[in-house]
Chains A and B, each alone.
Chain A
């Protein structure tokens, strides 16, 4: 009898297969944007505004043009001649490519210089003389709506204030009725501070316009090449089939590399004007002060509580600081992303939320930094509010969560804001986490320590989040529905090439997507090449962000493999000389029903597709699949952190960090764990040190890595990981998104732990990051600490 294939051994589902990508990265042979050199290539640098808000009175470029080796000095007025001084954003606003009238944030692009090398291009930028007439800057949403505030977007016809949107979701009246019946209302106000995703590799592009063929090829750091192609076609008014976007190896994205940035557009325009390749590589300060930030939301919210601990209703308001241009990368229908997924994990009958977006003189954005469209902000507020409510009730925070979490028998469960949860074992995850951290022991330890003047604390964060947009009914970007596609070709010898529309930035698609095909077809993963990132050679996809690769492109991959298997079945029936109904599938092989020894392998079927197909059958063994998910996937996580706070200094150390993730079926456990640890580190960073803000003049504080602190190996804590598996009921292989869970749910666990350590002080909130002086100040003066800008400058 034929030996059954061992799926783990051939690199299928559940195999911690070593990564394919590593072979080139370990040897220094990766192909990142800055590694490409094209014949005749010249280099572009950008001149940025030193002021946050000012009218431009003149730009003199004459000295820059005189520098030997300078080929082009591009200003907004020149770009305007090609209708490119402004561009549309992904949120139906406009953004300046190069400033013509005013500068609206520090770091805004004013001009660019193209030269033989980047050094000369920088010399050129320094030789440009710009004169400004300063205007009062606005650095938070409350200044933006104050009486007499200057109108930042005076370029927009009919814009008479600094508000870019108002939005509401939920049942206002039902929520009001529920609040009227509450025994207790627990209130919380906080600011989720501005942050920057800050991949180590900055953005960059090489635009190569070929005047002979009229084809534009753009190599660029993009997480979403196909959407970018559509955007370039719209912005540059070029035919879409004559645009090729190649997204090479990317040195981290985290949402920062989703949008279209002025630098990309300028390199394209300069290449068209010069008819030669133009390379733009952003520097770190340029990346930190001009590309999309994340978060920056001011929350006011409250929970209606019954005295037994049951949550009756929730309502909250968000003031969002959107910077100078409303350019969130998010689905059209949702003005503040999926912020209304807050409290989804809890069985709360009524909910209502409002949001208002404001323009300020800060970098634009609102990008989903390791997050599914603002769910990070949603879950942070949720978990901070849940802990505060438990304290207000005098209830144990774990017991309060357990009482209110959606129970396993309640699925499918409709949240008050309209989402449909489909699966999960929330209580079980919480139990695994509590058990792992020795919850009761820690509470005793905390009490004993407190008696000795030491401050220990424990923070819990339990959350589910919607990952894997769309479905196409509700989710689109620029009118293009959020689905994904895959193409699979099995060659005569049984080796295969899979092409996908999503794009890795370190998640390991080249490794894991092959594993999905292996699971469906039994072809060893080592025999499958995964291609992605080149719009001419891959099928359409919305890109990799919002943890949507596995939920959507991964599903498309499983579905195309099934289509290929269906054809292979016909070939097997032909080879085995039986009818198709009498053919049975086992991994990698078909056999005659009732005669397991009489079979053919998938590789033999592949050969037959090219050399021995039945009469009338179309040759070849390949197919494509477009996958429109019926719902989001809903992973769940329980994170618990214990800390010790030093009351003398405000420094806090992490004692332990336990993560329990239920992301459904794990394709490659090694990679899943890597994603969780990476996300948890960003959560720790947000809570502890990562801080980018503005002073009253609109100067960005945190514009380089000397000021914007990222955690190193030295301070990053160790992580203890556990798993629970509840397969997604609708995903073909039961997988759910996971790459962002820890970054989404993690920050509240750290902050809650510190707040727990000072739970006797009456302090309700300290804004992130919980840098030592804030914790010290809260302890010393027994008051809440706001971190909202403007921060004090040295002159104050």
Chain B
């Protein structure tokens, strides 16, 4: 199949790659760029383990084509924290035991990032609503909610310190 050149900024790095038009964004991230932190669960946009940020907004990368990302910016879990320093959302998930098998975790954290970017002081209800597109089979969500509350508090106190 004829390939097409796309220019995408992934985790802050510009990428220029030839791809098949039918290549899914999630396969582009995983197979072409080797960013395997973004997972594939259901193929139907329901489970959310493939959630990445697309120009800052959460999208399910299993039902987008890579060519649709041409000229856009994508952030994956690998771009969330630094290897040496976890992002407060990652810390929150560890502190509050917000993960078990870890498979939903990257998508769950990216959806949480989108929420906290928009609403730094969410209620439990806000969090449950914002994460309703992400399935977890292990935790029962209660600790995920706590994890996001933990992260929100840390992010707020960091923001207050830097003012």
* Chain A residues near B (Cβ < 8 Å): 18-19, 21-22, 24-30, 32, 34-35, 117, 119, 198-202, 249-254, 281, 283-285, 505-508, 670-671, 673-674, 677-682, 704-706, 710, 712-714, 716, 718-719
Contact with B138, one of A202, A506, A714 (Cβ below 8 angstroms): A506
Contact with B140, one of A24, A28, A285, A719 (Cβ below 8 angstroms): A719
- Main secondary structure on A side of the interface with B: loop
Q: A19-B94, A27-B90 are in contact. List 20 more A-B contacts (CB 8 A).
A: A19-B99, A25-B102, A26-B90, A26-B109, A27-B37, A28-B36, A28-B80, A29-B37, A34-B39, A35-B30, A199-B103, A251-B41, A251-B49, A253-B101, A284-B42, A506-B101, A677-B139, A677-B142, A705-B44, A713-B127
Interface centre among B102, B128, B142, B145 (most CB of A within 10 A): B102
User: Smallest CB–CB gap between A124 and chain B, Å?
Assistant: 15
User: Smallest CB–CB gap between B150 and chain A, Å?
Assistant: 13
Contact present for A26 and B93 (CB under 8 Å) = yes
Cα–Cα distance between A785 and B125 once the two chains are bound (Å) = 34
Who on chain A is nearest to B105 by CB?
A25
| Residue-wise interface mask of B (131-150) relative to A, using a CB-CB cutoff of 8 A (1 in contact, 0 not) | 11111111111111100000
Contact present for A705 and B93 (CB under 8 Å) = no
Contact present for B135 and A678 (CB under 8 Å) = no
Contact present for A705 and B47 (CB under 8 Å) = yes
Chain B residues 90 to 138 lying within 8 A of chain A, measured CB to CB, are 90, 93-95, 97, 99-106, 109, 127-129, 131-138
- Main secondary structure on B side of the interface with A: loop
Cα–Cα distance between A712 and B127 once the two chains are bound (Å) = 11
B40 at the binding interface (Cβ < 8 Å): yes
- Which B residues lie within 8 Å of A32 (CB)? 36, 39, 103
User: Smallest CB–CB gap between A236 and chain B, Å?
Assistant: 28
Contact present for B132 and A22 (CB under 8 Å) = no
Contact present for A28 and B76 (CB under 8 Å) = yes
Interface centre among B93, B100, B101, B104 (most CB of A within 10 A): B101
B13 at the binding interface (Cβ < 8 Å): no
Contact with A22, one of B30, B93, B133 (Cβ below 8 angstroms): B93
Contact with A251, one of B37, B39, B145 (Cβ below 8 angstroms): B39
B20 at the binding interface (Cβ < 8 Å): yes
- Which B residues lie within 8 Å of A22 (CB)? 93-94, 99, 102
Contact with B95, one of A18, A27, A201 (Cβ below 8 angstroms): A18
Contact present for A27 and B77 (CB under 8 Å) = yes
Give the 3 A-B residue pairs with the shortest CB-CB distance, closest first: A28-B37, A251-B103, A25-B102
Contact with B94, one of A26, A673, A681, A710 (Cβ below 8 angstroms): A26
11 pairs of residues in contact across A and B, judged by CB atoms under 8 Å: A28-B35, A28-B37, A34-B36, A34-B39, A200-B47, A678-B137, A679-B140, A704-B42, A705-B46, A712-B132, A714-B128
- Which B residues lie within 8 Å of A712 (CB)? 128, 131-135, 141
User: Smallest CB–CB gap between A207 and chain B, Å?
Assistant: 19
Contact A28-B78, Cβ < 8 Å, known A284-B41, A284-B43 = yes
